[in-house]
Amino acid sequence: MFCMEAFLTSAALVALAEMGDKTQLLAMLLATRFRRPAPIILGIFCATIANHFPAALVGHSIAGVLTQPWFRYAVAASFILRAGWTLIPDSIDADAPLAAPSKAGVFMTTLIAFFLVEMGDKTQVATVALGAQFDNLLAVTAGTTFGMMAANIPAVLFGEALAKRVPMRALQIGAALLFLGLGLWMIASLQGWTP
């Protein structure tokens, strides 16, 4: 059964955490270099599913094995630590070589580049923690993928104009507050402080 709480929480956390993240910067770079939004967006979508489904599965599997309160505290602490990590701005080298679209194609170039850059990224780590928090692998994967697309489709379509108009720092602070709030909420629920 699909859980809307898991979907909405996952989508909101990843969408906000993605603002100014290196994968969003990569999406802007790809859009600027290749100027073909459809294959770039499709490449980001496929790379996100290929990355986030196993991440959510790892989190879900760990949560199923480790049901002790100390593990739940560790997951809560990871959200609180991620709040701090979210405040650290990412950067990407705009001069870094990307495979030419004539050889690999825009879709394949995007798929590979986005998948590799997302490995170990804060949104992937967040997906592991969300998979551990919520007992719904489908909702977490769908939510994190939706959040990733909500942040990156505008980056691909509007690129540089969006970067100049959207206050990235305010969005990073909002994402950090969401991570902090989720971590504190988990601790409070473990202590029996929430209704």
Q: Rounded to the nearest 5 degrees, what angle is found at the Cα of 129, between the Cα atoms of 44 and 136?
A: 80
**What token pair was written down for 42?**
């499709």
What residue has token string 């999406």? 27
Angle separating helix axes 4-18 and 137-165, nearest 10 degrees: 30
Q: What is the mean pLDDT of the chain?
A: 80
Total length of the chain: 195
Q: How far, rounded to the nearest angstrom, does the alpha carbon of residue 182 sit from its chain's CA centroid? A: 15
Mean pLDDT of 37-61: 94
The pLDDT, as a whole number, for residue 129 is: 85
Global pTM reads 0.69
Mean pLDDT of 20-31: 81
- Are 109 and 101 a contacting pair, CB within 8 Å? yes
Question: pLDDT band at 99, cuts 50/70/90?
Answer: very low
**What token pair was written down for 92?**
């990407």
pLDDT tens, residue by residue, 137-187 = 999 999 999 999 999 999 898 876 665 666 667 666 776 777 777 778 777
Q: How far, rounded to the nearest angstrom, does the alpha carbon of residue 154 sit from its chain's CA centroid? A: 15
Question: pLDDT band at 57, cuts 50/70/90?
Answer: very high
